[in-house]
Structure 1
Amino acid sequence: MRKCTLLFLTLFGLVFCALGQNKQLLYDFTEIPQSLIVNPGAKTDVRWYSGIPVLSGISFQAGSSGLSVNDIFADDGIDINTKVRERAIFGMNPRDELSGTYQLELINAGFRGKNPDIFYSFGIYNEGDAIGYWFQDYAILAFEGNADRLNQRFDLGHLKTRGELMNVFHFGINKRVDNQLIVGARAKIYSSIFDFNSTKNKGYFVTTEGQNNLFASTLEADMQLRTSGIEALREAQDDGNLGSTILKRGFFGGNLGVGVDLGFTYHLNEQTVVTASLLDVGFIYHANDVKNYTLNGSATVEGIEVILPDALTDPNADFWQDLVDEIEEFVPFEDNAESYISFRPTKLNASLRYNFGEQVMSRADCDCEDLISGGNFRSKYANAVGGQLYVINRPRGPQPALTAFYLRRLGNILALKTTYTVDKFSLSNVGLGFSLQAGPVNLYLLADNLLAYRNVAASRYTSFQFGLNIISWGRN
């Protein structure tokens, strides 16, 4: 039982040391080719593009909804034990989380087919994602003990955590149906490097008055931790082969899964546009290097019972071991290698955009009227405003975010986008991004929560994205 608890707490700690997933700055920022990754039905007017390997798309996001580093370690004259108790132990609740993700593109490219209304894209990226919720009752029990909390049930369901590392191989098709509608789909193969999840725990621990001793402790548990790939990585680290093992598992040597992205762009009229996408509708089947841990059963114990004078007749009796054996008999801690399925954290994006100002002639219109059938291509506008909804499926239910944005184009050279986002991490998240087109070279940089940079330690959310691409519009 002690091993199980330590393992659960250790994995939750790994989440806190790990890297949200909302890419509101990139979404519908069509000057950037990577906007197809977050909406396969986004508008694109290029002949082809190619990301510079490893540098074409780097993104990192991390958020904490309940606590910042500054809340605990600020030099404010308050004793640190007081801050831990008031701001962490009792200041947070089981819905508070620390979560994050990173993506690193290895290959990303796209090209227009013989039918100029169809655009193909493909690539490989490495992704890590993790989330952990605050296990409040566990923290209270560890911090204050149970002696003064008779009859209080400590909820074992407060422990919810999951994390994964994988390579994603993808191929997408973007089709212009007519001058109003663009649709897109992207197929994905997931190659899992490692996975862990413990999200369906039930049970409680309670202390009551005892009959034979002063206190009686009751544990009723139905808990499970599922892992894959972790044992292989641990052994590889011991053997000095960690890098090659990660590479092998990331390229079809681990557990595999499939998924799909869907999206569209629809012009309600000349200046009003609706977009939406549904990402990572998929799963991974874990059958390789699986190790699961379970704690299932119930028991009530009243500590060590020493009955005199009978106990004196056996001076070698190990009363502590008898107690441990009794607990493990009723609440067995077991492990197994049963395969399991993990579902990806599905994400929904939707936006409404209004374009205005002078029209900016697309590079595709300059001398490539064959690029879109019938030369039927909409020009861009210098300005755009709108709103975006983002929802991600998480272990404690859907997690939404709302964004208002303004986009400004300065010809075909520079585009700027600023956002204001409200979510569970922040009510004042201001983001700014730019896309610079220097000849065929596209450079973009996007960063969130800029106001927090005045005091990074007090920030509960950070995000940035960076990339370099080569773009061609098919000029003669």
Structure 2
Amino acid sequence: MKTGWVILLLLTVFGISAQNKQLLYNVNSLPQNLMTNPGGETRFDMHAGLPFFSHLSFSAGSSGVSMYDIFGGKESDVNENINNSLISITDKDFFSVRDQIELVFLGWRDNSQNYFSVGVYQETDVFAYFPKDIAVLAWEGNQNQKNFHLSDLAFTGEVLNVFHFGATHYFSEDLNIGVRGKVYSSVFNVRSVDNKGDFFSSGSSANNVSRPILRKVDILVKTSGLDPLLNSETMTDKELLGQFKSQAFLGGNIGFGIDLGFTYFLDKHYRITGSILDLGMISHSEDVKTFRYSGEFDATSQSTLDPDHPDSGELGEYFQEEELGDPYVSFRPVKLNASIDYGFEEELEPCKCREPIGRRRYLNHVGFQLFSMKRPKGFVHAATLSFDRKFSDNFFGKLTYTADAFSFSNIGLLLSGRFSNFNLYLAADNLLDYPNLAKARNASVQVGFQFIFNKG
């Protein structure tokens, strides 16, 4: 039973992504470039994404351990693998599951060199740090003298719809600046961060009885939008679906945010870009439930407990459980992008879309990108080297190498093809791990379908 519980904890680490979309970033032949940088270039005059299929993405992986690290080969000792994994994993390792689905995405250019876009997408984000002390306690028990920190327990999770409207303005042949406003419609939200507490084990006593002592504890779990799930047995499927739709389409907890971005040409070859995404927050006041477990106990000053038999007293008297309904605010995980690239082999074919006069177009680009994303215990980072090439008017490819918290061997590939006005693309990360996904610590797949139009 102990082995199974710890394996479950370790396997929860399998499922991580920092939402870095390096394969789409700076791909100005695709509308999704605007979602990574609202100040990005657009090499088209209008686009219309195929509803629900304009952009689909899913990612999974691990920053600390893979499935192969636990189960290994046929001759592998699972217990030994768990011991090794618990030693190597730290409380800064984390896991998450993410997906994003574009429900609607449209864009058009006016006669003043502005490009506008509007759309709705659904996003799921589940994130948790690995609770190392809790896992060690479950695996080793409390026979050794040790202080286990309950603060290792930290997680967030949400499902929401995002309604957005953006505009990119060409200030000059060298500078584009873009902004996107967002309205967040929260479906579910759960978060438990900044928990405090210690579980102290003084080790085995003279009669070989261990003495676990809970000391200061303050654990808080905030939730909103979960009432339909908690009451699903009393609701019909139609009522349940209707409640979810209401929460997804501005009928529940609402928030606001903004994206900012720019593109600047240093000279005819070098381009720098940057963006800040999801600078926003959600106010949770509807269907809010907060669960709190708190208290303090000092065994040295309490005579109600036998130090060798702490269960002999009423330990529960010193700790209390509460259910609160206080509103709270959740901040969106801010994302930062920055890049520089070099274009070469100038495209000699005539331009088929409206762009500022004098701006050159190149068939090839080599670049360097930095990515950061805010999480409860700080930022996670990634660095990417990229090469992309326009093979023809209808075929484009991009190759990336990314180093991040999960891997130093992340090779990614994006392929995009256009057939008349219909465009599709497929992008995947960590290609070297696909022959044996059990060894992979991170994997990501993205696909999209849209119609793209040029006036000229």
The residue correspondences of 1:80-91 to structure 2 (distance < 5 A) are 80-87=78-85, 89-91=86-88
Is the alpha carbon distance of 1:292 and 1:13 closer, same or farther for their aligned partners in structure 2, counting shifts above 3 Å? farther
| 362 and 250 in structure 1: CA distance in 2 versus 1, 3 angstrom threshold | farther
Q: Structure 2 vs 1, CA of residues 463 and 237 (structure 1 numbering), >3 Å: closer, same or farther?
A: farther
CA 1:103–1:186 in 2, change beyond 3 Å: closer, same or farther? same
Report the counterpart of residue 90 of structure 2 in structure 1. Answer: 93
Partner residue, 2:150: 156
The answer for the alignment partner of 2:414 in structure 1 is 433
Equivalent pair of 1:362/1:380 in contact (CA under 8 Å) = no
**What amino acid is the match of 1:415?**
F
SS in 1 for 2:297: strand
Shift of the alpha carbon at 1:96? 1.0
Q: How does 1:359-374 map to 2 (within 5 A)?
A: 359-361=347-349, 363-365=351-353, 371-372=354-355
| Aligned position for 1:300 | 298
Larger Rg: 1
State yes or no: 1:127 paired with 2:123.
Answer: yes
Per-residue CA shift, 1:185-208, capped at 9, x if unaligned?
A: 000000001011111112211133
The TM-score normalised by the length of structure 2 is 0.90
Distance 2:404 2:277 in 1: 19
Output the CA distance in 2 between the equivalents of 1:13 and 1:257: 33
The answer as to 2:30 corresponding to 1:36 is no
SS at match of 2:333: coil
Of 402, 416, 419, the residue aligned with 2:383 is 402
User: Is structure 2 residue 56 aligned with structure 1 residue 62?
Assistant: no
1:387 aligns with 2:368: yes
Output the amino acid matched with 1:388: Q
Unmatched tracts of structure 1, length 5 or more? 1-9, 307-318, 366-370
Shift of 1:468: 0.7
Deviation, structure 1 residue 360: 4.9
Which residue of the partner structure matches residue 229 of structure 1?
A: 225
Higher helix proportion (structure 1 or 2)? 1
Rounded to whole Å, the distance in 1 between the matches of 2:12 and 2:135 is 16
Task: Name structure 2 gaps, 5 residues minimum.
Answer: 1-7
| Cα distance in 2 for residues equivalent to 1:63 and 1:407 | 25
Number of residues of Structure 1 aligned to a counterpart in Structure 2 = 441
Aligned counterpart, 2:3: none
Which of 111, 114, 117 is the matching residue for 1:118? 114
Cα separation, 2, equivalents of 1:362 and 1:344 = 43
Structure 2 residue aligned with 1:291: 289
Deviations for 1:440-467, whole angstroms, at most 9, x for unmatched residues?
1111111111000011111010101111
State the match for 1:3 in structure 2.
none
TM alignment of 1:211-290, pairs within 5 A: 215=211, 217-236=213-232, 239-241=235-237, 242-290=240-288
For residue 106 of structure 1, what is the aligned residue in structure 2?
Answer: 103
Which of 311, 330, 345 aligns to 1:342? It is 330
Residue 216 of structure 1 and its aligned partner are, at CA, apart by: 6.2
C-alpha distance in 2 between matches for 1:15 and 1:452: 17
- Per the normalisation by structure 1, the TM-score is 0.87
